[in-house]
Homo-oligomer: A and B are copies of this chain.
Amino acid sequence: MSATFSAFSDPAFSMRRAVPTRPSWMATSAPEKIPAGAASGGQLLHVAPDAELYADGAESVSFYKVVSGLVRTCKFRSDGRRQIDAFYLPGDSFGFEDGGRHRLSAEAVCETYVVAYRWRGAEALSAGDAALAPQLLSLALQGMRRAQDHALLLGRRSASQKVAAFLTDMIDRSVNDEVIELAMSRQDIADYLGLTIETVSRTLSQLERDEMIALPSARRVRVQDRLGLRHLSS
Contact surface of A with B, Cβ cutoff 8 Å: 1-2, 75, 77-78, 81, 83, 85, 96-98, 103-104, 122-123, 125, 127, 130, 133-138, 140-145, 147-148, 150-152, 154-156, 193-195, 234
**A2–B155 touching, CB < 8 Å:** no
Give the chain B neighbours of A123 by CB distance below 8 A: 1-2, 134, 138
Query: Smallest Cβ distance from A2 to chain B, in angstroms?
Result: 7
State the CA gap A136–B155 with chains docked (Å): 28
Q: A103-B145, A140-B141 are in contact. List 20 more A-B contacts (CB 8 A).
A: A1-B123, A83-B155, A85-B151, A85-B152, A96-B141, A98-B141, A98-B142, A98-B144, A103-B148, A122-B134, A122-B141, A130-B130, A133-B133, A133-B134, A136-B137, A144-B144, A147-B151, A151-B154, A154-B194, A155-B194
**B85–A148 touching, CB < 8 Å:** yes
Query: Smallest Cβ distance from A162 to chain B, in angstroms?
Result: 10
A78: which of B98, B151, B234 is its contact (CB, 8 Å)?
A: B234
Give the chain B neighbours of A1 by CB distance below 8 A: 123
Given A1-B123, A134-B123, check contact A155 B156 (CB 8 Å): no
